[in-house]
A and B are shown apart, each in its own frame.
Chain A
Amino acid sequence: MITVLALIAGMVAGALLEPTVPVALQPYLPIAVVAALDAVFGGIRAKLDGIFDDKQFVISFISNVLVAALIVYLGDKLGVGTQLSIGVVVVLGVRIFGNVAAIRRHLFRA
C-alpha cells in the first residue's frame, strides 16, 4: 500500500514540478522509463511470489536504468543508437511481458 502511495507521490511531484528534460538526456528518457517499468513489474511479481527483497529491487532498478543508459550512450557513439535502443526495449519488453503474465497467473489463477 505504502509503495503504491510512494509511486503516486512521485508522479504528483513530477506533474507539479514539470521539470524540463535537458536535450542531452532526452534520448535516455524512454529507455529509463522502460527499465523502470521492468524493475517495477519484476518487484510486483516477486512480491506475489513471496520473495520480494528491498535490496534486490533497488539494485535491479538502478542497474537497469544505468545499463540501459550506457547501452544507448555507447550506441550513440558507435552510430547504432536507434538499433541498440530497440534491442534494449525488446529485451526489457519481453521481461515485462513475462512478469505481467506471472502476475496475471497469481491474481486470476489463469
Chain B
Amino acid sequence: MNDKGTKGPRIYQADFLTALFRDPLDPAYVQAAEDKRNKPPPPPWKVLTRKVITLICLVVIGFLFAVAYLQVVRDAPDREKVRAGLITRINQQKERTTKLAADAEALQDEVATLRDLALLDPAQAQELRHLEAATGVSKVSGDGLVVRLADGPDAATNSKARILDYDLQQLVNALWSFGAEAVSINGRRLTSVSAIRKGGGIYVGDFPVVSPYEISAIGPPDLYDNFSKSLTAQIYRDLAQRPEHRFGFKITKQDDLVLPAALLPELRYAKVPNPSPSPTPSGGR
C-alpha cells in the first residue's frame, strides 16, 4: 500500500473501496509497528500512560455498547406503550360518545315531554311528532324490514363483489318510494339531507359504515311485500347469485324495529331569534 510513487511510471492505486475490501486493517498499525522497530522503545511511564488511556477507551466503548443496547431495548416498549395508550384513548372516547349520545337522547325525550306540556293543543303536538319522525329528528319504533347486504368473500380482490354507495342509494330510494317512514343504515338514521356517498369507504352522512350493511326501514304494513317484489330487490337478488358478484343480500321482515334519531344538522344560516320577553309556543325552528 505504501510503495507507490517511488518507481518510474505512475501506478494507479486501487480505488478506496477496493483497497478497503482487500486490506481492511488500518494501515496506521503497520506503520506504527515499523516505526517501533526503527526507534528505541519509549520510556516505561509513557507505555504505562498509553496502556491506561487504552483501558479508559475500552471502558468508554463498553459503556457505549451498553447505553446503545439499553436505548434500543427501551425504545421498543415505548412504541408499544404509545400504541396501547392510543387504543385506551380511542376506547375512552368511544365510551364517552356512547354516554353523550344516551344523554342527548334522554334530554331530547325531556324536551319533547316539556314541549307537549307547553303545547295546549294535543292535535298540534301530534302533528309535530309526526313531522319529527318524518324528518328523522326523533327516535322512532315500529314494524318494518331489514335489508342485509355484505361484501362477497373475495371482495378484497374482486371489486365486483364489493357493495358500493350506489347500491345502498338504490335500495334506500326504493324503500322511500314504497312509503318507508324512517330508514337507517348500520344504525345511522337517514334524513332528507343525509347523503350516502363514497370517500375511502362508504359514508352515511358524516359517518363511515362498513360491510355488512344493515338497512332498517319502518313503514306501512305492505312495505315488506311491495319491496321484496320490487324490481330493485329482484335485480339485487339476481346479481347476488351471479358467480362474478356473489355478495350477500337478504330481506327480512322485522317487527319492533327501533331507529335512533339522526344527528341534527348544523344550522348554518338560521339563527335563534331575539328572545322575546314572554316565550310563546309558536315560532318553531
Q: Are A57 and B61 in contact (CB under 8 A)?
A: no
Q: Are B65 and A102 in contact (CB under 8 A)?
A: no
Question: At the interface, yes or no: B64 with Cβ under 8 Å from chain A?
Answer: yes
CB distance from B210 to the nearest CB of A (A): 37
Task: Find chain A residues with CB under 8 A from B66 CB.
Answer: 10-15
Q: Are B57 and A61 in contact (CB under 8 A)?
A: yes
Task: Find chain A residues with CB under 8 A from B267 CB.
Answer: none
Contact of A51 among B30, B55, B58, B61 (CB under 8 A): B30
Give the size of the chain A interface in residues (CB under 8 angstroms).
Answer: 48
Partner-binding segment picked from B67-75, B153-161, B256-264: B67-75
List A33-80 residues whose CB lies under 8 Å from chain B. 33, 36, 39-40, 42, 45-46, 49-62
Give the size of the chain B interface in residues (CB under 8 angstroms).
Answer: 34
CB distance from A98 to the nearest CB of B (A): 3
CB distance from A5 to the nearest CB of B (A): 9
Smallest Cβ-Cβ distance to B51: which chain A residue: A54
Contact of A10 among B30, B32, B54, B65 (CB under 8 A): B65
List A64-110 residues whose CB lies under 8 Å from chain B. 91, 94-99, 102
Q: Are B67 and A51 in contact (CB under 8 A)?
A: no
A3-45: contact bitstring with B at CB < 8 Å (1 yes, 0 no)? Answer: 1001111111111001101000010011011001001101001
Given contacts A10-B58, A10-B59, A33-B64, 12 further A-B contacts (CB under 8 A): A3-B54, A6-B59, A9-B62, A11-B62, A12-B62, A13-B62, A13-B63, A46-B26, A51-B33, A54-B51, A91-B20, A98-B20
Q: What would 7 A/B residue contacts be, using CB atoms closer than 8 Å?
A: A19-B67, A29-B64, A42-B24, A54-B53, A57-B57, A58-B57, A94-B20
